[in-house]
Structure 1
């Protein structure tokens, strides 16, 4: 005797391409692009109601791995007939990683919001892997010299630990903002203008700890 429809077993009718398609809705939280576009979805196997997905990471130690896992399982498990989802993690080869980063850069450029910075603006980065070598001194002197020539120069002091640009420039005013935009502190130098943003403008003094929200590791 045939089983009533309500008691009939439900078997997965999905195929690997259906799974790959729904995984296009999983966005890498760091690279801001679908994991399918980034080459992060490898082999997909469907056996009955069980689906096995191979996820390829730039590094197996990816701090966002747990979040990606949660979203992958949620998406695949939502397909009719799927009762089990497993993930096999593998690491990208140098060639795969280079291709993924190139894709991410191109998407970021295409999706970049409009900016008030003119396309003719020059960007100079002053950086070092060692502290106390004069990064801030070079930055301040270079910016002041350019402003003295009548240019408008923006200075971004991204040092979250030893910010000294405010002290070097003699500026201590807290940063303001309107319409979600930061208003930099301004300083006249010669015929030009310095516009300065520093972590030092977010605290009362250099000895005050800054509450900084970062990624949550799980």
Structure 2
């Protein structure tokens, strides 16, 4: 027969840390468990002082212990890890990788997809945020980097804002930064780092090439995403400094090109795919946003024309590689309203036509084979 203390320890050790996304027992955060009669006392070591997840951890630990048969009362005592314990934790999280090493190289098991567009205003960020949520809903471990440093919008689109309307700052464990999580998506954005008491906090980032490159590199090296199935990058429009930096840092990444149906957008969208391909990246598909809207009487409203997605896919296809049109997302008031409210439409209104199309595109993207260029394969000549 299992002792009550052992049963409680197993139950609380299985509680998942909401930031690190790993069991507390695996993270050595359970310091002690004592059971006296029907009363259990659990001691938990938080990673840092003022841990933003402390309330949730305490609540989840209390619920897990109370669910053990025979336990009627639970006391949870919260403490903080010592510097030595934190150092051991960060080493374990790095899994042998040196500090500030880029974990998304060609040999990484994480698929990297950069979402690009030729110009702004095509709904690229809204589409990226919803794709990330749809992929996470499929059970994938998803990370999202808001690489549009001058026009960051991902935190607001995912509802990652506090009472003051600003994004939360990442939790730091020594030199590791833990990205905030929304809808199962681990997210990082420059908006989380801007000073709270300066005009820059409102979104004005006046940086040139070297600072932009350094920031993208830090997002890739200093932020602890853990084990990801897929990492999305919301790229700035065009083919400027960030596009070149990402091409240098992630030449093995896949690229998804977003356009609208009109020629003014589709002609420019081709350029982002061409530049990505010049850095060695693979264009895996095109998504047409703001496509025809079906009205209540069954007629279709082509507000921005038609054919732009097909035109971009055809222009980017070559004799050696066909670039498919992965889907056309129709104009949708729910999609727009969800973005304004920080509730992605794929989660808040999954029956909306735009949500259904984005969910379908996410399924196609998840099933698309990865490129093997630059990756070392586990084979040897005989």
**What is the TM-score of this pair, normalised by structure 2?**
0.32
Q: Give per-residue Cα distances to partners, 1:72-106, cap 9 Å, x unaligned.
A: 11111111211100111101111111222233333
What is the match of residue 106 of structure 1?
95
What is the match of residue 132 of structure 1?
206
SS of 1:21 mapped into structure 2: helix
1:188/1:194 contact within 8 Å kept: no
2:13/2:30 contact within 8 Å kept: no
What is the match of residue 188 of structure 1?
274
2:239/2:275 contact within 8 Å kept: no
Change (3 A) 1:79 1:116: closer
Aligned equivalents of 1:53, 1:14: Cα separation in 2? 15
Aligned equivalents of 1:190, 1:80: Cα separation in 2? 58
65-74 vs 98-107, greater mean Cα deviation: 98-107
Pairing 1:22–2:96 present: no
1:72 to 44, 48, 61: 61
Aligned equivalents of 1:138, 1:104: Cα separation in 2? 27
CA offset at residue 190 of structure 1? 10
Aligned equivalents of 1:56, 1:71: Cα separation in 2? 14
Change (3 A) 1:168 1:20: same
Change (3 A) 1:157 1:137: farther
Aligned equivalents of 1:101, 1:48: Cα separation in 2? 37
Root-mean-square deviation (CA), in Å?
4.4
1:22/1:76 contact within 8 Å kept: yes
> Which structure has the highest helix share of the two?
2
SS of 2:237 mapped into structure 1: helix
Change (3 A) 1:56 1:182: farther
1:60/1:89 contact within 8 Å kept: no
SS of 1:166 mapped into structure 2: coil
Aligned equivalents of 1:190, 1:106: Cα separation in 2? 31
Aligned equivalents of 1:41, 1:137: Cα separation in 2? 41
**What is the TM-score of this pair, normalised by structure 1?**
0.52
Which 5+ residue runs of structure 2 have no aligned equivalent?
Answer: 97-102, 113-146, 150-189, 195-204, 214-231, 241-253, 259-271, 282-289, 291-338, 344-382
What is the match of residue 336 of structure 2?
none
CA offset at residue 46 of structure 1? 1.6
Change (3 A) 1:77 1:182: farther
Q: Give per-residue Cα distances to partners, 1:140-171, cap 9 Å, x unaligned.
A: xxxxxxxxxxxxxxx9467xxxxxx42664xx
What is the match of residue 120 of structure 1?
none
CA offset at residue 135 of structure 1? 4.4
What is the match of residue 86 of structure 1?
75
SS of 1:62 mapped into structure 2: coil
1:58/1:91 contact within 8 Å kept: yes
CA offset at residue 24 of structure 1? 2.6
Change (3 A) 1:24 1:188: same
Which 5+ residue runs of structure 1 have no aligned equivalent?
Answer: 1-12, 118-124, 140-154, 159-164, 170-180, 196-203, 214-218
SS of 1:23 mapped into structure 2: helix
Change (3 A) 1:104 1:210: farther
Number of matched residues? 150
Pairing 1:47–2:133 present: no
Higher relative contact order (CA 8 A, sep 6+): 2
1:33/1:104 contact within 8 Å kept: no
1:187/1:193 contact within 8 Å kept: no
Change (3 A) 1:157 1:50: same
Change (3 A) 1:184 1:211: farther
